[in-house]
């Protein structure tokens, strides 16, 4: 009886694994085809100062318009692309597309901003990452000053010394660096002070619990204070309510990103919302925008 159960369990897992492998293979085939046919789009989610008075940039988030399935969220295909290495080509497309759109943003008067690009751990480990990205930027005549690279703890922790070298080279070349989803990985605090990064992004999971979990409040406050004492700027991800925003304002968080202040949107919508007329450019030396 026990033996039968065991054998059934094995068979069950095998069938499930086969189904998953098959599905991933399909996704990969579709992804490859979609890359040649430009079925991808970047959405832009605005990033604001914590008082919500200044737009400082946007995070570029990939969207896949699958010819049959419609919009497929990144959670459903990034991991597959990473396993196969296709993420490198996908990442190239993301950077190139961001360059094209940065020029459009500048043309409509959105000038003092940075576009945050997510860099997969797979891309981060490429030996030629910096040269390769600089080549794409040069081809589009866009300066690294416009780009902030988002890196996760997982990308840097398995070879810290190498990662620090890569980060330093990227920063020296003019890119800003942000630690994405901070608090979910397992960065050692002793390494943190050695990382040549400029910004921490507090993971959404802490922010969404702010209102009903005192521990999340303590952690959020601790991350803000630690970031500041390390000389880093800090942004809160996934802010959905006024109460969350107020808590973060009280705790002197620097920047905010979330559905409350602005959902990710197509470039055309971003331009419509944030473009400025000639005369309202730089009203007091800084480009400001009302979000109401
Ligand atoms: P992420 O880099 O942490 O991006 C933030 C995610 O949180 C986005 O999900 C965004 O839509 C979502 N978000 C923002 N504000 C809120 C909020 O207030 N509430 C809630 N519930 N969600 C919010 P998205 O666009 O589905 O992307 C998921 C993840 O996929 C990203 O997490 C990132 O890790 C990855 N990703 C997206 N685009 C790219 C890309 O171009 N390259 C790579 N390598 N990864 C990407
Ligand atoms: Mg990100
Ligand atoms: Mg994030
Ligand atoms: Mg996150």
* Nearest Cα residue to atom 4 of ligand 1: 61
* Nearest Cα residue to atom 10 of ligand 1: 264
- Binding site membership of 148 for ligand 1 (Cβ less than 6 Å): no
H or E segment at 39?
Answer: none
- Binding site membership of 144 for ligand 1 (Cβ less than 6 Å): no
Contact between 12 and 26 (Cβ < 8 Å): no
Calpha distance 118→82 (Å, rounded): 13
Residue among 118, 150, 177 to mutate when testing ligand 1 (max atoms within 8 A of CB): 118
- Binding site membership of 78 for ligand 1 (Cβ less than 6 Å): yes
Task: Please give the pLDDT value at position 287.
Answer: 46
CA of 45 to the centre of ligand 2 (A): 10
Beta-bridged to residue 56, according to DSSP, are none
- Binding site membership of 120 for ligand 1 (Cβ less than 6 Å): yes
Place of tokens 């008075």: 53
Return per-residue pLDDT of the chain as tens, 292 residues: 445 555 566 666 788 888 888 999 999 999 999 999 989 999 999 999 999 999 999 999 999 999 999 999 999 999 999 999 999 999 999 999 999 999 999 999 998 999 999 999 999 999 999 999 999 999 999 999 999 999 999 999 889 999 999 999 999 999 999 999 999 887 778 888 999 999 999 999 999 999 999 999 999 999 999 999 999 999 999 999 999 999 999 999 999 999 999 999 999 999 999 997 544 544 444 444 544 3
Classified as helix, coil or strand, 125 is coil
- Taking the CA of 88 as reference, the closest ligand is 1
Atom of ligand 1 nearest to the CA of 201: 3
Sign of CA dihedral 189, 192, 193, 199: negative
User: Considering only CA atoms, which of 30, 26, 50 is closest in space to residue 39?
Assistant: 30
Classified as helix, coil or strand, 56 is strand
CA of 200 to the centre of ligand 1 (A): 15
- Binding site membership of 57 for ligand 1 (Cβ less than 6 Å): no
User: Considering only CA atoms, which of 88, 68, 69, 74 is closest in space to residue 41?
Assistant: 74
Atom of ligand 1 nearest to the CA of 152: 34
């Amino acid at each position: 009886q026990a033996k039968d159960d065991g054998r059934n369990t094995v068979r069950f897992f095998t069938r499930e694994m086969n189904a998953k492998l098959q599905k991933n293979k399909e996704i990969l085939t579709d992804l490859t085809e979609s890359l040649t046919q430009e079925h991808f789009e970047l959405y832009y989610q605005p990033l604001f100062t914590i008082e919500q008075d200044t737009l400082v940039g946007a995070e570029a988030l990939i969207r896949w318009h699958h010819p049959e399935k419609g919009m497929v969220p990144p959670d459903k295909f990034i991991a597959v692309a990473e396993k196969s290495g296709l993420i490198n080509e996908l990442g190239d497309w993301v950077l190139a597309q961001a360059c094209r759109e940065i020029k459009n943003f500048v043309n409509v008067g959105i000038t003092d901003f940075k576009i945050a690009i997510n860099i997969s751990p797979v891309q981060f480990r490429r030996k030629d990452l910096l040269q390769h990205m600089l080549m794409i930027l040069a081809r589009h005549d866009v300066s690294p000053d416009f780009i902030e690279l988002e890196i996760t703890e997982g990308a840097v922790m398995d070879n810290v010394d190498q990662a620090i070298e890569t980060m330093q080279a990227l920063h020296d070349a003019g890119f800003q660096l942000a630690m994405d989803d901070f608090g979910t990985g397992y960065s050692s605090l002793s390494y943190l002070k050695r990382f040549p990064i400029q910004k921490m992004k507090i993971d959404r999971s802490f922010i969404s619990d702010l209102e009903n979990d005192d521990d999340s409040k303590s952690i959020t406050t601790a991350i803000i204070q630690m970031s500041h004492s390390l000389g880093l700027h800090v942004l809160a991800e996934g802010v959905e309510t006024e109460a969350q925003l107020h808590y973060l304002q009280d705790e002197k968080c620097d920047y905010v990103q979330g559905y409350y202040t602005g959902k990710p949107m197509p470039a055309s919508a971003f331009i419509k919302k944030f473009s400025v007329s000639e005369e309202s450019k730089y009203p007091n030396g800084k480009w400001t925008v009302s979000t109401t």
